[in-house]
Structure formats: structure tokens, C-alpha cells
Structure 1
Amino acid sequence: MTTLRRLESYVCGGWTPGAKEGQTLLDAATGAPVALIDSTGLDFAAVLQHGRAAGASLRTMTFHERAGMLKALGLALMARKEEFYAESLHTGATRADGWVDIEGGIGTMLAFASKGRRELPNARVLTDGEVEVLSKDGSFVAQHILSPLEGVAVHINAFNFPIWGMLEKIAPTLLAGLPCVVKPASQTAYLTELCVRRIIDTGLLPEGALQLICGSVGDLLDHVGEQDAVTFTGSAWTGRKLKTHPAVVANSVRFTMEADSLNASILGPDAVPGTAEFDLFVREVAREMTTKAGQKCTAIRRVIAPRAQVQALVAALRERLDKTALGLPGDEGTRMGPLASLDQRAEVRERIRDLQAVAEIVAGDPDAVRVSSGDSERGAFLNPVLMYADAPKAAAAVHEVEAFGPVSTVMPYDDLDEAVALARMGRGSLVSSVFTGDETVAEKLVLGAAPWHGRVLIGSAETAKSSTGHGSPLAPLVHGGPGRAGGGEEMGGIRGVKHYMQRTAVQGAPRLLSAVTGRWIEGAPTRSGEHPFRKSLAELRIGDQLVTATRTITLEDVEHFAHFTGDTFYAHMDQAAARANPFFDDRVAHGYLIASFAAGLFVEPNPGPVLANYGVDNLRFLSPVYFGDSLQVRLTCKEINPRENAQHGEVRWDCRVTNQRGEVVAQYDVLTMVAKTWPLASEAAA
């Protein structure tokens, strides 16, 4: 007799089983026992304290170091993906379903690693926005900064994505410098536990940066404090209960909820049968109904279509859904696996009965299961069910009741205003989609739906091959929605990282604020001497500055530049037309001529530590430059970001161009790649 695997929690530095045998978890497709789960006996207050203590080591790392850690971790997990796929079959997920969860989750972690290296400085503090000047002489300024919270992020996840649901949350959290405690839903916790084991095995994370609770969270939330954060994915009812927990309320704990919602997809009136948009709509609705057996928080629950197209739409969906092979998730011919459990199937059937009060079933039978493999009674199988509500405005249930499975309801609209009204009756959703090739229809439907949705996808012929689809949350885009969807946001690129940081307005003298932020601020000390382009990162310091000689702009300069580049805009070439322009008194020099001459003034031409110029940020031309004006450049080292595991780093230079009267005519940041040492280590070795 095989001993059933007991899931363990990873807390306070070790793997710990619950004190009791616990709940038996069953294979979704066969009903066979998979594992036991229990968290009885864990000291949840100690778990939080252990995580908070671990935060110190995370916070000493820079964003680039943490991003590098995430990259190494993502690659290590990708190398073990087949192990996760094998375990994922117990959840009822097909290979395609598992791909979304496993490789989608790891890909999300790698995306955050990449964004951390590309979009964040190699520092421990973020600046947010521009410096605010608070005094006339510039001696008193302010800068908003973002610093990591000093608590723990508690992530309470749903059963449908046991790997993605964890990784999409811990990636931005760890990048921000905040330790995590993950609590997966019990039904599929065995897959999350396996993934966490492999994470811990790598040794890449500081101890305490990631803890796992398999089983109930007990009194964990009783101990959350002001520096902690809690996220929840699941039912709106449970989310509201957690959000109003006394400790969460009393300590103003950051709480983010991503709740199941009644997402809608709208077919435009131009998308008639035979068009690419109609075919795409049919394919997308069917895919969202059957992927993960419809157990997705982003699945299409409400199918909104022009009344004239409804009959053809229902027929097309019925034909497509009838071909969906339901069976064991590991079988090659299976296109849809079972629901997560028999209890989940019973729940979905009950919700279908609720919907039948206002809608009729037009495809599928929830009580007569047809499978291509497996046992229809022992496994939690359910064929796709398509419903139709002819009077959707009066059918409140289709906008309030969610059957969390392969169930969608078609509802007709008579004009675009009604389509928008129906979409909004979901009272806030994670995502909506619009399928149309008509620009006017797209504008009307998207702007009407946007305030009630976290994301809106436009499907059209142009994106048929490239679109990721209605139900795919992506790392750079926000995942969340208003109202019923929970009112929270996750991911969204660096926006998701900032959620786990505190924004603070710091006021003071430029010298002191520059020391706090690690970024030169106007009015902070500067250092002159050797040309800063002759300095490697080992020698360069924030505030190193060059003030150049001057160069006078001539008529010949402007006309040569105009003919050489082809930029013969009238303000540069026609005196009468230039004087008629309210912004100019005479012919003016090209803005890009000013930037080019500025480079000629500050560049040190000989080979040296500056390896490349890779861009200009925030370029603004602030005053016109006329013939006879003299330009001078002040170039100041503003920010230094050494790259990890490379011989160079990025340097941001504040470039200010003035005329003979001291007026600023151009202002921008110059971005360069600079060697850490000079000569380069490879050349020195040679």
C-alpha cells in the first residue's frame, strides 16, 4: 500500500508538516487520492516575524541584484517544467492548460526580472516624478521617493492557477524588496508546494524571503501590521471578509483583491457571419469556455451580440463546442479536462440552475456528461454549457450569478448604447473584449466599457495571429478591475512593484536630497576638474561637471544644416514667415542643430571610458536661438547605474544649454554606457 504524500509548509527556515493527518486531496479526473494537507500547529505570528526579519537582507540588495535573482530563479524553474507538468495533470489541466499556469507563470517572473534590469536603477530607492522647487532661490526642494515596506506580503491564492497565481505575485513583491508568505488554495496546493520546494532547493533566495503555508492560515491575519500587505484572489464574498478583518482595518494594511467577475465580450454590428471578426469572436468565446474548463477569473461569462447575429452565433458556437473532446487531461485527444473537484462540479450545476430562471440552455447538458476517456462520475467532468437570455436587461441573474466553469450566456443588443449598458451591468470586471473592424464601433464600445473594466481587448483581423486573447493577463499590463472585480491591481509592469513600496515626499536642501536619492539635483554640490568623459565608473561621482566653451550660431550654420538634413521648415529659412509666427522674432536655429552643437561642445573625442551614447530623455527646446547667439553647455553627472555581471554601467547626464544671456535654450538627459574600469579588463589582460 502506497503511503499518501503529506504536504508540508515551509516556514521559519524549514519544512514542517501539520500536526494532524488533515484533508485528503483528490485527482480531479480520477478521484484518486493525491495528497494530505494540514497546517495545524504552525505558529503564524512567528511566520510573519521570520519574514520581517528576512526583509533586511532583501532590502540591502539593489533592484538589479533582485532582478538578477529572479532571472536565475525563473531559468531554474523552467529547467524543471516537465516535473510540474506531470503534477499538474492531477489538477485536471491538459498540457495546454498547464502551459498557461506553468510556463506562463515562469515567463511572468522572467518578464519582471527583465523590466527590473531595464526600467529600474541599480539602487535601493526609486525617485518618483520630478523635483519640486519650493523656494524662489531653489534652496528648498522636494522629491518623492519609493522605499520598500518593512513587513511581509501575504499572498492568498485561488485553486485554478497554482503556479502562475503564486509567481505573478511574488515576482513584483521580491523585486520591490518585500518578503512573501504564500497560501495556495488547498485543492491544488500540491503543485504549489512542489514549485516552492524547487525554489528553495536553488538556494537563490535569502532565507525567509519566501514562506509557504499548506492548509488553513489559522490566526495569521490577526498578526498583520502596518508595514505588511495582503493580496487575495478568489470569490468576492471571501475577499470582502478578509478585507474587513479587524487587524487589516485597524492597521490600514494594504489589501489588494482580484475577485472572479462576470467578464463580457461584445461582437460589433459590423462583424457579421463571414467576416474575420465574427470567426475570431466564435473562436475566442469557445476557447475561453473550455480553457481550464472555464475555471478562469478572466473567462467570458457574458456574450453580447447584435440581435441580428445571435442565431448564427449560437449555431457556430454549438458546432464548435460539440467538437470539444472532454476527457483525461493526459490523453492526446483531450481538448478539455475536468473541473477541479466533484464539489466544484456540483457548485457549477447549482449556478446553472440559478441562471435557468432567466435563460435557456441552447448547447450542452450539465446533467448528461459525455467523455472521450475517463469515468464521468469519478472525475469532475462537465461538458460546455451555452445559455441564451433573450431579454438580458431584465435578466438580473446573468449579471450577478457566476458559474465558475465552462458556462457562458449569449445575450442580444439592439444598439451600441444597449451593448455598453449590458457590459456595465456586471458591476465591474477584470476584462472585457470588443470584436470589430469598425473604428467608430471600437471607440464607442471601448470608452463605454473602460470605466468598469481593468482591461479591454479589441479583436480584429489585423491582430488575429498576434493577439494573446481575451483571457490572458500579461506582466506589463494591469490585472484587476473595479467593483465586483475587487478594486485592485496586480502586475502592470513596474506599477506592480511600486504597490509594495511606500511613497514619501522628502523636503530639504538639494545637497541633502541628492545624498538620499543617489541622484544629482539642481543646486547640489558639483565637482570640476578632469573631463568627466575621461573617468571610469570607479572614478566618476555624482555631481562631476563640465562647463564648456561657447559657440556662436551663424546664418551659414543654419542653412548648411537645413540643406544637409533636408529640414527646411519655414521658421529656419523664411524671415517673413518666421516673424509672422507668434513664438519667434526672426529666423531660428533648428532644435536638433542646438543638440548637435551641444554634443560637439561637451564630447571628449579620444578613446576612453565612455563606450557609447544610447539615448536622450526629456529633450525640451525652451527658448528660440537666433543668428549671433552663443551657446554654452553645462554637463553634470546625474545618476550612475553599474550593470550586474558586465564591464560597464549606465550614466545619466544632466545637459543644460544656455545662451549668452544665461537663458536656458535646451534641457535634456544624455544617456551613456561607461566602462567600470579603464582600460577594460579584457584589454588590460591582453
Structure 2
Amino acid sequence: MGLINVHSYYAGQWTAADDGARAIANAVTGEPLAIAGQAALDTQSMVDFARTKGGPALRAMSFHDRARMLKALALELSKFKDELYSLSHTTGATTPDAMIDIDGGIGTMLVYASKGRREMPDGDIYVDGELEMLSRNGTFVGQHVATSLHGVAIHINAFNFPVWGMLEKLAPTLLAGMPAIVKPATATCHVTEQSVRRMIESGILPDGALQLVSGGLGDLLDRLDYQDVVGFTGSAKTALMLRSNPILLEKSVRFVAEQDSLNASVLGPDVTVASPEFDILVKEAVREITAKAGQKCTAIRRIIVPEALLGPLGEAIAEKLGKIRIGDPALETTRMGALASAAQKADVLDKARQIAAECRVLTGDPDAFEVDGADRTKGAFVPPMLFACDDPDTANAVHSVEAFGPVATLMPYRNLAHAGQLMNRGRGSLVASVITHDPAVARTLLIDAGASHGRIYVNNRDSEHEATGHGSPLPHMVHGGPGRAGGGEELGGIRGVMHYMQRTAIQGSPDIISGITGTWIKGAAKPKSSVHPFTRSFDDLAIGDTIEAGPRTVTLEDIETFAHFTGDTFYAHMDEEAAKANPFFPGRVAHGYLLLSFAAGLFVSPDPGPVLANTGLDGLKFMKPVSPSDAISVALTVKRKTRRTDEYGEVRWHVAVLNQDGDDVAEYELHTMNEYG
């Protein structure tokens, strides 16, 4: 089999590696595997193609259209998982390692597809936060919104996750309506290229939405402007070099970095050798040291434990690490494969030597270990290495040198304050874990160390069977960290989408803001119709359509009947003197839930129709008490509409309950599912 020629894909064309190519070796055998790179890239055509083709095509789609596109892409990639697993073996990854990368990336896309449909509108303007009242009478209001940037996102990814690293950035970018140019690390770019090929060949993406650079970037960053975004994952040294680009600085190009991280795991002082949490830490540590051969930005590098448990934990972790089968990742018996390249191996061994200079070696001799099915001297193999640092206060390397491989260091702490200090010696981390059954321990460490960590993962006997693991970033939660970790945030649900959008404050009258956002707000026009809105289909309803109904007089008999029927005999409803003594009530008052029931009786149409179900309400507030003999009316207004399935959509209604003086006594948002017309 000849060398794999890893192509780039830009301006709608696949371009082969040429004289400017760099060689890629098989991580397992050390033999030549592929070439990637071009002597010269037409970077301006890439940027132009993204801006003139990809961007307009994506922005012409709604958030829901883009979410459906993401789901289709994820399902398409799922068809090719086995071939991607096999290709990943050449990078040193076992099949379980490849599943973390490939299945994890596909899963991330599916989460963003779901969140796009559930949490974003079926339109092109995202409403961010609540309405701000900017005037006394409500005729001038403000709203934050977000719209797609009109540039291109440049994604520069690390070697350790050639699929997940791409998809976790690509999903929120495409959902935001922004095209992307992906630049994977050269050592594993052949896996990324195959994933991109499958997505391009599917025909799901519009032209220009996704381009690929296999090899060097050329002068691509010099072509960027203020509408563009750079997302980077890799070393702090490279991040500093990239973010210091004069063009990026001059043009205020957004730069989101996720870089080095000396993540810690802390065992709480409540834990003993007999505690379930002791075994949980051992399991977490072994998994994080060996998964992906320790080549994870979220892997545990420092294990911080009570002084009395340093010896027992060292023995327990070292014993399990000593049983790890190292070998050809294609073998089913292999638990840990090779590092991604010979260069990576050399770097890890150099960093391990620096750490060993101030520590004791508990296990892992890089010159004496067995490898199944491969020659360890030719492949990029290293053993799991565990060190113990008896004096972490005076040590330096363990808190400043990251060996990006299967390397971790145990260290003792005297008390909880000391544990927090050691956590923070990493100078900013992506994640720390706290293994404890005591909420007070978790709370104290959050207060002491939260400012230095992007995520804190707490696990114990109650959560261990469903916890996702110290080193597993989830698309729902922020992935990033302060300081050394880069100061950026990726993922985090819709927060991740916002990196590729511009937040704008809009101000104007309620009619203007309502017209822009597609959401009726209080004070905007309310067209009234003689046709009951519950008899009208989803498509026939317009934002602002309103029905007013009532009045209905609330009697003392109503209040007492409701109290005895429901069992809610709270004194404010049943005892005149006690109610008058309460500063909130003039005397006996109606139950809030009685008012909701009466309001529904006023606006609900009893006949079968396009309203299929009431699925809940949000934002309920009671604003003024209702006394016996007060008369209530209701105004039901179409606030927002969202298509959900092929058969029905969600309608959100603003419900205002008023008394005989026209004062609001209650407000809430009602959700119904309505058939299409």
C-alpha cells in the first residue's frame, strides 16, 4: 500500500499534497504512512469562498434549518465509524480511544442539533436575556439580540482528537450561521480528512460552509478581519504566537484558545481507605492516565490527597497501572496504545524526566516495559508513569511542566486550605475533580479554587454509576479555563454558539422590538379577532393576536369551595383577621391557582380543534391580591411561535389576568402544541 496523500479542500476543490508536503509516520510501527501539505495555498480564495458562498448560504437558513443540517451530518458520519476507528489505529488510538474521539464528536453534533431546535428560534435572530424597561410608561424598551457574524471561523485543532476536536468547534459554528476553515494537526490530519470527505460527499452542507487545510496554514491568518473568529486548541506557546499576529491584534479578531492544563484531582479529607470514594479516585486516575495514552487536555496530571493516604493510594494506582496491556491498538487485548508520533514520545519522556527530578518513581520505566504486537523501539510507545512528590510546596516541575502523555504525580496536602493552594499552583486549568461525600468539602474547594478552573467535577458513591468522568467535556457545559488553560470557553450549549455571533443591544418602542424579534412584548400592538384563537391553526395565528374574555366575579363561596376541594386552607384564604394582619393582604383573598383556573375557563375553547395540548407555563407571577366580589378578566395574546415537528408547532401565549380596575393581578406564559393549517 502506497502513502496516503492527504488532500486539502477549499474553494470547492480537493487539492493533493505536493512538494511542500510533510511526512506522517504510523504511530505504531514508525513506518511512513502519509504526506500532507501544499507548497503554496491560495488563502485569499479560501476566505473569499467562505464569505461569499458559505456565509450567505448559511445565513439564509434558520437556526432550526441549521440544527437539522447538523443532525443529518452526524447521522451520515455514524455510517462510517468503523472505517474511522480503523484509521485511528494508525495514530496509536485503541478502538475505545477512537470511540471517545469519533462517537464523542458525533454525539456533540447531535446535542447541538437538539439544542438548536429546543432553545433557539425558528428564525435568524436570537433573543439573549430578558426585556429591559428603559422608560417609566414602557414606550421605550431594550433587548439584547444576537446575529451571525459575516466572516469565517478558522479552527486550528490539536492532534489528540482529530474528529471530536473538529466537530466540537464546527457544530456551534454552523449553528450560528458561520462558515469554517478547519486546520487539523498534521500528525493525525488523515483521520480528519476522511471525516471531512464523508461530510462533503453527503451533499448536506452548502458550498463554502466547510473547508479543510491539511498541512500548514500559510498566510491565512493575515487575511482575517473583525468579522472573523479564530478557535485554537494546542500548546500555550503556539497560542501565544498565533494570538500575537499583528493582523489579529489590529483588526480585533476574536481569538478563543484552549491550551495547556495541569488538571488536578483532589481526594476529600472525609475519605478513608475503606470509603467507596477511595476506589473511585483509583478508577478515575487509572482511566485518565491511560485513556488516549494520556493525550487529553483534560487528563489528571496531579493527584492531591490527604497525607495519610499518599502511600495507600500510590500502591493502589501503581498496582492497576502495572496491569495495563500496552500494544498494537488494533488488538482487542490492548488497553493502551501508542502516542501520536515519535516527536510526541520524545517530548513526553523529556517532560517526565523533569518531573522525576523532584519526585519518587512509583511505577513506569520507559526503558523496560512490554508491548504486545509491536516493536516498542519503533513505535511511539511509553508506559504509564506515576510519580510521588513528597514536598509539593517546594517542587516546581509538577506544577509547571505538562507531560502530555500517561504521566501523573501524587502529592499530599495537610488540610483543605492547603489542597486548594496546590490546585491553584497549576495557574489556571480546564478541569479539577473533587472526590468527596461531604458537600462542605466541595463547597470550600469551589470557593478556594473555582477562580482558577473552568470546570469542577465532583464524584462520590451517589453519582459514580452515572458520572461521565473527570476528563469528559460535555457539549452542555463550558469547556475551557482561565490563565494557563487559555482564558477561553468552548461548548457550553448555546454559549458556544455565541462565540460566532454578534450580541447587539436594540432599543425602541414595543412594536419595533416585537417586529424585530418575532416575539410579542407588553405594550406592542394586539390585533383583536372575533374568531377564537384556539380554533385557529398554527399557521393562521399571527404574533400579537389577542382574545379578551370576562369578567367573572370571584365570590367568597368560590374561595371556600376551592380551599376545601384542594385542601389549600392557608389562613389568607380562610381567616379574615389573620389575613388583615399580613402586610400583603387586605383581608381574605382568592387563591392564586383559583385565578389561573378561572382564567383558563374564560379563554379555553371547549370544542376539538387545532390546539392539541397544554404543555406547561413559565414566568408565573401574582401581582395584586383578588378579594371576594372582585371581577377578573383575561387577555390571551400570541407571544411566539416555533415549529417543532412535521405535524405540530409550539405556541407561547402571554396571559394577563386583570381586575375590574384594569390592574394586572397575574401574568404568565402558556405553552400549547397546535396543528398546522
Normalised to the residue count of structure 2, the TM-score between the two structures is: 0.98
CA contact (8 A) 1:19 1:41 kept: no
**Where in structure 2 are there 5+ consecutive unaligned residues?**
none
The offset of 1:590, in angstroms, is 1.5
| Equivalent position amino acid for 2:401 in 1 | V
1:85·1:95 contact (CA, 8 Å) conserved in 2? yes
* Matched position secondary structure for 2:390: coil
Q: CA-to-partner distance for each residue in 1:117-163, whole Å, 9 max, x for gaps?
A: 11111111011122222222322222111101111111100000000
Pair 1:361-2:338 in alignment = no
Most deviating of 454-463 and 522-531: 522-531
Query: 1:204 & 1:329 partners in 2: Cα distance?
Result: 33
Q: For residue 173 of structure 2, what is the aligned residue in structure 1?
A: 173
Q: What corresponds to 2:234 in structure 1? A: 234
**Structure 2: distance between partners of 1:556 and 1:595:** 17
Query: 2:613 is matched by which residue type in structure 1?
Result: A
Task: For 1:413 and 1:130, locate their aligned partners in 2 and report how far apart those are by CA, in whole Å.
Answer: 45
The equivalent of 2:400 in structure 1 is 400
1:243 counterpart residue number: 243
2:14 is matched with which residue?
15
1:430 maps onto 2:430 in alignment: yes
Distance 1:123 1:223 in 2: 30
CA contact (8 A) 1:18 1:41 kept: no
* Superposition deviation, residue 370 in structure 1: 2.2
Partner of 2:462: helix, strand, or coil? helix
State the match for 2:654 in structure 1. 654
What secondary structure sits across from 1:463 in the alignment? coil
Structure 1 distance, partners of 2:458, 2:137, is 50
Matched with 1:581 is 582
1:542 Cα deviation after fit: 0.9
Following superposition of structure 1 onto structure 2, how do residues 484-503 of structure 1 map, counting pairs within 5 Å?
484-503=484-503
Report the alpha carbon displacement of residue 462 of structure 1 after superposing the two structures with TM. 0.7
Alignment of 1:59-208 (within 5 A): 59-208=59-208
**Structure 1 residue 260, shift from structure 2 partner:** 2.0
> 1:5 Cα shift?
1.7
- CA contact 1:39–1:213 (8 Å) conserved in 2: no
Q: Summarize deviations over 1:385-416 as a string: whole Å, max 9, x none.
A: 11111110111211100000000010100100
- Indicate the SS of the match to 1:404: coil
Matched with 1:604 is 605
Give the Å deviation of 1:341: 0.9
Q: Return the offset for 1:194.
A: 0.1
Q: Report percent identity of matched pairs.
A: 54
Give the partner amino acid of 2:585: F
Query: Is this contact kept in 2: 1:434–1:446, CA < 8 A?
Result: no
1:569 Cα deviation after fit: 2.0
Whole-angstrom CA distance in 2 between matches of 1:571 and 1:257: 56
After superposition, the C-alpha distances for 1:222-270 in whole angstroms (9 at most, x for unaligned) are 0111111100000011112111211111111111100120000001112
Q: Which amino acid aligns with 1:45?
A: Q
Distance 2:372 2:267 in 1: 32
Counterparts of 1:437 and 1:135 in 2: how far apart (Å)? 50
- Per the alignment, residue 684 of structure 1 pairs with none
Question: Residues 594-652 of structure 1, C-alpha deviation per residue, up to 9 Å, x if partnerless?
Answer: 11111111111111111111111111111112211111111111111123x51211111
CA distance in 1, matches of 2:564, 2:495: 45
CA distance in structure 1 between the partners assigned to 2:260 and 2:556 by the alignment:
66
The one-letter amino acid paired with 1:366 is P
Give the equivalent residue in structure 2 for 1:614.
615
Equivalent residue number for residue 625 of structure 2: 624
Q: Aligned to 2:201, what secondary structure does the other structure show?
A: helix
C-alpha contact (below 8 Å) 1:147/1:502 kept by paired residues? yes
Write the letter of the residue equivalent to 1:47: M
Aligned twin of 1:595: 596
Residue 665 of structure 1 aligns to which amino acid in structure 2?
V
Q: Distance in 1 between matches of 2:437 and 2:129?
A: 38
Partner of 1:49: 48
1:307 paired to 2:303: no
Which residue number in structure 1 is paired with residue 509 of structure 2? 509
**Residue equivalent to 1:639:** 640
Q: Deviations over 1:47-102 (max 9, x none)?
A: 01111112111111111111111111111111111111111111111111011001
* Residue type at the aligned position of 1:638: K
What does 1:222-301 correspond to in 2, within 5 Å?
222-301=222-301
Question: 3-state SS of the aligned residue for 2:301?
Answer: strand
For residues 546-578 of structure 1, the C-alpha deviation after alignment (integer angstroms, 9 at most, x for no partner) is: 111111111121222222222222222222322
Deviant stretches of 4+, over 6 Å: none
Residue identity in the other structure for 1:200:
I
Show the counterpart of 1:348: 348
- Structure 1, 70-79 or 525-534: larger mean CA deviation: 525-534
TM-score, normalised by the number of residues in structure 1: 0.97
Structure 2 residue matching 1:374: 3-state secondary structure: coil
2: CA distance, partners of 1:207 / 1:566 = 63
* 8 Å CA contact retained: 1:18, 1:42: no
Count of paired positions:
675
Deviation, structure 1 residue 39: 2.7
Q: Counterpart of 2:387 in 1: which secondary structure?
A: strand
Asked if the contact 2:20–2:40 (Cα under 8 Å) also holds between the matched residues in 1, the reply is no
Task: Give secondary structure in 1 for the equivalent of 2:90.
Answer: helix
Letter in 2 for 1:581: N
3-state DSSP class of the match of 2:88?
Answer: helix
Contact 1:532-1:545 within 8 A present in 2 as well:
yes
Rounded to whole Å, the distance in 2 between the matches of 1:642 and 1:193 is 35
> Helix, strand or coil: the match of 2:9?
strand
State the 1:671 CA deviation: 1.0
Residue 682 of structure 1 corresponds to which residue in structure 2?
A: none
- 2:449 is aligned to 449
Worse overlay, 281-290 or 547-556 = 547-556
Q: Distance in 2 between matches of 1:154 and 1:277?
A: 42
1:519 is displaced (CA, Å) by 1.4
Shift of 1:586: 1.2
What are the ranges of 5 or more consecutive residues in structure 1 without an aligned counterpart? 678-686
State how 1:516-535 maps to structure 2 within 5 Å: 516-529=516-529, 530-535=531-536
One-letter amino acid matched to 2:350: E
TM-superposed deviation, 1:21: 5.5
- Could you tell me which residue of structure 1 aligns to residue 220 of structure 2? 220
Q: Helix, strand or coil: the match of 1:211?
A: strand
Q: What's the CA shift for 1:669?
A: 0.9
Is the 1:326–1:373 contact (alpha carbons within 8 Å) kept by the matching residues of 2? no
Q: What RMSD in Å do the two structures reach over aligned CA positions? A: 1.2
Once the two structures are TM-superposed, the CA of residue 501 in structure 1 deviates from its matched residue by 0.9
